[in-house]
Amino acid sequence: MIRIVIENVLLFLLPTLAYLGWVLIARPETLERTPGGRIRPMRVLNDAPLLWLAASGTILLMVVLVAFGKTSGGRPDQTYSPPIFKDGKIQPGHIE
């Protein structure tokens, strides 16, 4: 169950993570050095279009959930037979 929650959260945050990566690569001046020599990002999210990032994350999450919901496979009364190795060949999985 936690895997499903983590996948959904990552799908929602994917546009924001892509934006942050793009900003840090395209604008290296957004990185600052501390007196100890460590590099830390400045407050990049202050200038970020958070509303658009949240909206695109929500749309991406909804599209993926609908796509997986529509391609679930067979009816509830059917059973899935996984692929098997028989006579030196792999027989593909199927729904009976």
In the prediction, which pLDDT does 53 show?
94
Distance CA 43, CA 64 (A): 31
Distance CA 58, CA 77 (A): 33
Flag whether pLDDT at 23 surpasses 90: no
Average pLDDT of span 14-38: 82
Whole-structure pTM value: 0.63
In the prediction, which pLDDT does 18 show?
94
In the prediction, which pLDDT does 39 show?
67
In the prediction, which pLDDT does 30 show?
73
Three-class SS state of 74? coil
In the prediction, which pLDDT does 28 show?
75
Q: What is the pLDDT of residues 34-87, one digit of tens each?
A: 787 776 666 777 778 999 999 999 999 999 999 888 876 777 888 888 999 989
Distance CA 11, CA 53 (A): 12
